[in-house]
Amino acid sequence: MSEITSDVVKHVANLARIDLQDEQKTQEFTEELDEILNYAKQLEDVQLSDTEPMFHAVDLTNVMREDEAKTPLTQEEALSNSKSTEDGQFKVPKML
């Protein structure tokens, strides 16, 4: 068994900022994640201690470009897809 319980799923959902809405949904996600992580346990069968992880498919490091001034999006464009703005800024509910 993996270590997935409904409490773990609730904790992870909180980290991911997703409201799970109801107990039944939480239970379903718990079962599905448990199944997937148990399946992933097969990776423990492979001898990997001397293997370096590969984070990317191509070897590129520090890709640089010229530091040139360019015209960015206008303020109006940048705000155009927001549901709530005020005085040219994004508006959010209270933070504390």
Partner 1 sequence: MNIYELTVEELYDKIQQKELKPSEVVGALFEDIDKIDETLGSFLFINKEDAMKEAGRLDELQAEGKMDGELFGIPMGIKDNIVTKDVLTTCASRMLEDFRPVYDATVMEKLNAESPVLMGKNNMDEFAMGGSNENSYFKIVRNPWDTDAVPGGSSGGSAAAVAAGLVPFSLGSDTGGSVRQPASFCGVVGMKPTYGRVSRYGLVAFASSLDQIGPITRNVRDNAKILNLISGSNNKDATSMPDVEADFLKNIDADLTGKKIALPDEYVDEGVDEEVREAVKKAAKVFEDLGATVERVSFSDIKYVVAAYYLIASSEASSNLARFDGIRFGHRAEGAETLEELYKKTRAEGFGEEVKRRILLGTFVLSAGHYDQYYIRAQKLRTIIEADMERILEDYDMIIGPTTTSAAYDIGEKIDDKLQMYKDDILTIPANLTGMPAISIPCGLNSKNRPIGLQITGKHFSEAELYNAAFKFEEKFNLHEELKEIQKELR
Binding site for partner 1 (CB under 8 A): 4, 8-9, 12-13, 15-21, 29, 32-33, 35-37, 39-40, 42-44, 46, 48, 51-58, 60, 63, 65, 73, 77-78, 80-84, 90, 92-96
The nearest distance, CB 88 to partner 1, in angstroms, is: 14
Residue 37 CA: distances (Å) to CA of 13, 17, 29, 41: 16, 21, 12, 6
**Hunting for tokens 């799970």 — which residue is that?**
20
- Residue 93: CB minimum distance to partner 1, A: 6
